[in-house]
């Protein structure tokens, strides 16, 4: 294996093909069809001198050891398959998986702090826990919050990272990633690509050095696995593996298997859910009970909308849609960010970044769009009674949207 590129790609293939085959290219040669799950925590080694050399090499560079596995905290073959696949989908040299999205962000920050680069420049809004981790300085970091136009002026000699999310959680605000990357100069740009996934955008193609996913969401896609992953070049991946080894934020092999399986349907799921979301956004935009709808130009399966009235009445009234945190599952979820996902963000900062108290976030799934609309229409009904409005009928398909 080439130490400078542990995940060499075959000839260029379409994303849908990579989603099905990346990480599985060696299976047929082994007489296998489904990827195996390796649950071992440790592995036999009768050559302790050779093992010592491999451990020394890992400690020096963080490169994946040649030869058989060593120990579950160094790496796992099943997890490596998922990492290989995700790196190919994002168009990066490597990827490193972790136990959660927050564990992945923590590893990135620790890797930069270890290099003496404690300052972070960030653009709101971010996922609430990411905002909290940066603001609290729990890892010895100092953050400067700015808008995209202020990134270049906010950089300092000790700036180790610029952090953005586009489309952003939960407002779905979008950034010009190429312009942002240019503003970063030599400072690595981290883009949280959880909402878009590589189906809709590949930040590395626009100059981002680090691409972060809460793999719990669309990459897993079924609400049954928690994970995080960082797609990046091999040099930075080596640092992340060393942090993972030292801190123990490893991904369980079964989770790695479920994620690899989830990637195979990622393009189909994202496109189908996006079609539902686009139609629901169109209907919500025309609804007099809704004050404003946020839906990204690049599309996607996430909608944010502000209501006239009490948003808590909406989340209490859904029946088909599940009122719950998280997103990216095959079923539709709704939640009130100011109460849950972004509650840990200071109220003034939260509202200043567009997360107002009447905003609801909808993660659209794969159900029939008319069934979803019937549930939303019913959940919005209490707002109609409170405002003296009539129940709303969906506009004809093709009506102009005011998103």
Q: Is 118 a catalytic residue?
A: no
Q: Is 217 designated active site?
A: yes
* Cβ atoms of 225 and 258 closer than 8 Å: yes
Comparing CA positions, the residue from 82, 363, 45, 353 lying closest to residue 231 is 82
pLDDT band at 147 (very low <50, low <70, confident <90, very high): very high
pLDDT of residue 10: 64
Please tell me the distance from the alpha carbon of residue 146 to that of residue 65, in angstroms, as a whole number.
Answer: 40
Contact 247, 298 (CB under 8 A): no
Q: What is the pLDDT of residue 340?
A: 79
CA atoms lying within 13 Å on the CB side of residue 43: 16
pLDDT band for position 392 (cuts 50, 70, 90): very low
Check whether 296 has a pLDDT greater than 80: yes
- The enclosing H or E element of 322 equals strand 322-323
> Which residue out of 112, 127, 202, 283 is catalytically annotated?
127
Q: What is the pLDDT of residue 7?
A: 57
Q: How confident is the model at residue 267 (pLDDT cuts 50, 70, 90)?
A: very high
Please tell me the distance from the alpha carbon of residue 140 to that of residue 138, in angstroms, as a whole number: 6
pLDDT, residue 119, reads 98
**Whole-number pLDDT of residue 65:** 86
Contact 324, 307 (CB under 8 A): no
How far is 398 from 400, CA to CA, in rounded Å?
Answer: 6
Looking at every residue in the chain, the average pLDDT score rounds to: 92
Q: Give every CB contact of residue 128 below 8 A, 6+ residues apart in sequence.
A: 169, 337, 341, 342, 343, 344, 345
Residue of 131, 192, 375, 377 marked active site: 192
Cis peptide before 167 (omega within 30 of 0): yes
Region 115-144 average pLDDT: 96
73 catalytic per annotation: yes
Model confidence pLDDT, tens digit, residues 268-277: 999 999 999 9
Catalytic position from the list 217, 244, 269, 283: 217
DSSP secondary-structure letter at 35?
A: P
CB neighbour class for 59 (10 Å; exposed up to 12, middle 13-18, buried from 19)? exposed
Strands (E), 216-310: 228-232, 290-294, 302-307
- Residue 353 pLDDT: 80
* Residue 241 confidence (pLDDT) above 70: yes
pLDDT band at residue 354, thresholds of 50, 70 and 90?
A: confident
pLDDT of 403 > 70? The answer is no
46 catalytic, yes or no? no
Task: Specify the DSSP class assigned to residue 138.
Answer: T
Task: Name the 3-class secondary structure at 212.
Answer: strand
- Of the candidates 304, 319, 332, the residue with the CA atom closest to the CA atom of residue 379: 319
> What is the mean pLDDT of the segment spanning 106-134?
97
What is the rounded distance in angstroms from the CA atom of residue 73 to the CA atom of residue 79?
A: 11
Kindly state the average pLDDT of the residues 379-402.
Answer: 54
Q: Are 393 and 337 in contact (CB under 8 A)?
A: no
| Verdict on whether the full-model pTM lies above 0.85 | yes
pLDDT digits (tens, 9 = 90+) for 176-185: 999 999 999 9
Q: Which of 13, 54, 73, 271 is catalytic?
A: 73
> Residues 225, 216: contact at Cβ < 8 Å?
yes
C-alpha–C-alpha distance, residues 152 and 123, integer Å:
12
Q: DSSP state, 34? A: S
Q: Read off the pLDDT of residues 164-175 as tens digits, 9 standing for 90 and up.
A: 999 999 999 999
Alpha carbons 295 and 302: distance in angstroms, whole number: 7
CB atoms inside a 10 Å sphere around CB 26: 11
**Proportion of the chain above pLDDT 70, given as a percent:** 93
pLDDT of the residue at 394: 42
φ and ψ at 229, to 5 degrees?
Answer: -155, 145
29 exposed, middle or buried (CB, 10 Å; 0-12, 13-18, 19+)? exposed
Render pLDDT for 30-70 as a digit per residue (tens, 0 to 9): 999 999 999 999 999 999 998 899 888 999 999 988 888 99
Q: Residue 23 region, left (φ>0) first, then alpha (ψ -120 to 50), else beta?
A: left
Torsion of CA 321, 346, 122, 360, to 10 degrees: 20
The Cα-based distances of 346 to 13, 161, 326, 359 in angstroms read 45, 22, 20, 16
Contacts of 263 (CB under 8 A, 6+ apart): 19, 22, 23, 82, 85, 86, 89, 219
């Amino acid at each position: 294996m080439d130490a400078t590129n542990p995940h060499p790609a075959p000839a260029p293939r379409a994303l849908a093909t990579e989603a099905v085959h990346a990480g599985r290219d060696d299976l047929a040669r082994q007489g296998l069809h489904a990827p195996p799950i390796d649950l071992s925590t440790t592995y036999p080694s009768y050559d302790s001198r050779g093992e010592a050399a491999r451990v020394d090499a890992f400690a020096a560079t963080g490169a994946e050891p040649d030869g058989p596995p060593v120990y579950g905290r160094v790496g796992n073959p099943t997890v490596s398959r998922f990492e290989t696949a995700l790196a190919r989908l994002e168009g990066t040299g490597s990827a490193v998986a972790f136990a959660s999205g927050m564990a992945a962000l923590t590893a990135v920050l620790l890797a930069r702090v270890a290099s003496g680069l404690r300052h972070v420049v960030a653009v709101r809004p971010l996922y609430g826990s990411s905002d909290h981790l940066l603001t609290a300085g729990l890892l010895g970091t100092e953050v400067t919050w700015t808008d995209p136009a202020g990134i270049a002026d906010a950089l300092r000699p000790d700036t180790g990272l610029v952090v953005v999310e586009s489309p952003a959680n939960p407002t779905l605000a979008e950034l010009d990633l190429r312009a942002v990357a240019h503003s970063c100069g030599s400072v690595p740009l981290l883009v949280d690509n959880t909402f878009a996934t590589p189906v809709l955008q590949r930040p590395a193609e626009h100059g981002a050095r680090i691409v972060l996913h809460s793999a719990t969401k669309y990459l897993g896609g079924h609400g049954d696995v928690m994970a995080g992953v960082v797609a990046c070049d091999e040099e930075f991946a080596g640092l992340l593996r060393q942090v993972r080894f030292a801190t123990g934020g490893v991904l369980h092999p079964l989770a790695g298997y479920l994620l690899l399986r989830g990637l195979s349907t990622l393009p189909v799921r994202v496109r189908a859910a996006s079609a539902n979301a686009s139609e629901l956004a169109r209907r919500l935009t025309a609804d007099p009970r809704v004050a404003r709808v946020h839906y990204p130009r690049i599309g996607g399966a996430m909608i944010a909308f502000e209501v006239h009235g009490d948003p808590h009445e909406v989340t209490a009234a859904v029946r088909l849609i599940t009122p719950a945190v998280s997103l990216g599952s095959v079923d539709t979820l709704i939640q009130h960010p100011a109460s849950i996902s972004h509650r840990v963000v200071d109220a003034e900062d939260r509202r200043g970044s567009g997360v107002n108290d009447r905003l609801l976030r909808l993660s659209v799934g794969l159900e029939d769009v008319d069934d979803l609309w019937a549930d939303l229409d019913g959940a919005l009904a209490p707002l109609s009674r409170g405002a003296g409005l009539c129940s709303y009928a969906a506009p004809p398909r093709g009506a102009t949207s005011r998103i």
